[in-house]
A and B are shown apart, each in its own frame.
Chain A
Amino acid sequence: MTRKTVLNDTHRALGARMVDFGGWDMPLNYGSQIEEHHAVRRDAGMFDVSHMTVVDLHGPRTREFLRRLLANNVDKLKKAGKALYSCMLNERGGVIDDLIVYFLADDFFRVIVNAATRDKDLAWINTHAAPFGVAVTERSDLAMIAVQGPQARDKMLGLLSPATREGVAAIGKFVAAEAEGPDAIRLFIARTGYTGEDGFEIIVAARDAVALWDRLKDAGVVPCGLGARDTLRLEAGMNLYGQDMDEEVSPWEANLGWTIALDAGRDFIGRNALEQQQAAGVGRVMIGLVMDDKGVLRHGQRVATPLGDGEILSGSFAPTLGKSIAFARVPVGAHAGLQVDIRGRLVPVRVVKYPFVRDGRSQLEA
């Protein structure tokens, strides 16, 4: 059965076109996904991301458990409120999911995983938490709203109680803090996001989510759907689980090597496989592509290279750039003479560094 977030009626009342996403009935757009995209790049937009799974981990050995569970090292989290992006790997080094973990107290961490992978993630986390005596609690009583864009922080800060506003204004990137919103609503505010813009991801009790959404809307924050979320994160060079990596792909092949901490003596799940792959040499890499011709790069298209075929992973039209961009997985060393097979026509593409867009500006040289 399709699941609904607490904001479902709100989306429908706003005229959203709804779509099934990982078993959830979610807004694709509220009219024009391109206009929503620009709202986030130029001003402030908000997304209902309550379909994502919030999992709280409690117990004195929680940190020790996460050292084992995650490919990135939670010991980078030294101050309460700090967050870390990591992959959760299987024994073969394949990616079960990517997630954000928050350090909240010595015996309390919070993990946010993808919606489409909820069941397998919870099963995996529970299995591996048990030996550490860590209590795993899914927080389906919570909702989550992402507020993103150059004006997002100011607009959100304006809704906070004077007593908590200053504290939230001061938090750095990838840090979270508790705050009090309008009508004394309790908020968990993190300076994170999935758009390449500054902003917050806000966790709120489900019963308070509609009120918060409405207040943000009154403050001029534009409701945005999953369509804009996808083009924003692609321009920002951020991976999407299931499209750019999955259980058959290692972080080395998904340009996520920066999230792997091969620190001495830490035995995390998948480490042996990752080290073997590294020693043997990784044959495929993920690269960024831009197409100057008209048309749109899309998931699954064949990429012809002088060293053999690759494929388009995430691909879309990039509204900020006015042309199509993509991630592709190709043989190592393929960096020139690439062509993409678009309905039988081979179209030249350029290999470019990404993010494609940073702080609202194109990173492509003409």
Chain B
Amino acid sequence: MQEIPGDLKFNTSHEWARVEDAGTVTVGISDHAQGALGDLVYVELPSVGDTVKAGNACAVVESVKAASDIYSPVSGEIVAVNAALADKPETINEDAYGDGWLFVVKPDNLADELDELLDPDAYAELIEGDDG
């Protein structure tokens, strides 16, 4: 299993969030989650300009095995989506913490919401014992 990068924060529902230098937040799913889902075949992303709320479903990833809602870790406005995933959803399987990112949020309540997320150690503990 892939090492969890130290600059990420996690939802208990297996999304990661990375605060970028510009203050935006990039969101994806964890390597553990992609492994559990198996080969991804379809990704439904929000649109740029959409407003998302922390904890609300705003995207869907589908593997051969299952469809899974994606819950945004933070609230704000969608400022970018990873359009390349439309043709190559398997990028998420190959590089969940890098090229497999899903969307970028311009957060509007970051300080409070960040406290609610798990740091890498806490997330590693959460998935320990899970198959994967």
Give chain A's interface residues, CB within 8 Å of chain B. Answer: 17-18, 28-29, 32-34, 227, 231, 294-296, 298, 316-317, 319, 343
Contacts and interface: CB of A to CB of B under 8 A. Distances in A.
B48 interface: no
Nearest to B36: A17
Contacts of A231: 64
A32 B41 CA distance: 12
Contact of B41 (A28, A29, A296): A296
A238 to B, nearest CB: 17
Given A18-B131, A343-B67, A296 B38 contact: no
Given A298-B67, A343-B67, A34 B39 contact: yes
Interface residues of B, number: 15
A294 B44 CA distance: 9
A17 B44 CA distance: 26
B131 A17 contact: yes
Contacts of B72: none
A298 to B, nearest CB: 7
Interface of B: 35, 38-39, 41-42, 44, 60, 62, 64-65, 67, 90, 93, 131-132
A17 B39 contact: no
A295 B67 CA distance: 9
B38 A28 contact: yes
Contact of A296 (B42, B131, B132): B42
B38 to A, nearest CB: 6
Contact of B62 (A17, A34, A227, A296): A296
Contacts of A316: 64
B38 A317 contact: no
Contact of B38 (A29, A294, A298): A29
The 5 closest A-B pairs by CB, nearest first: A34-B39, A317-B41, A317-B64, A296-B62, A294-B42
Given A17-B35, A295-B42, A317-B41, A33 B64 contact: yes
A100 to B, nearest CB: 26
Which residue of B44, B64, B131 has the most chain A CB atoms within 10 A of its CB atom? Answer: B64
6 contacts: A17-B132, A33-B39, A34-B64, A294-B44, A296-B42, A343-B60
Given A17-B38, A34-B41, 5 more contacts: A17-B132, A28-B38, A29-B38, A34-B39, A294-B44
A227 B67 contact: no
A319 B65 CA distance: 12
Which residue of B44, B65, B67, B93 has the most chain A CB atoms within 10 A of its CB atom? Answer: B65
Contacts of B132: 17
A17 B65 CA distance: 13
A227 B42 contact: no
A227 B64 contact: yes
B66 to A, nearest CB: 8
Contacts of B38: 17, 28-29, 32-33, 227
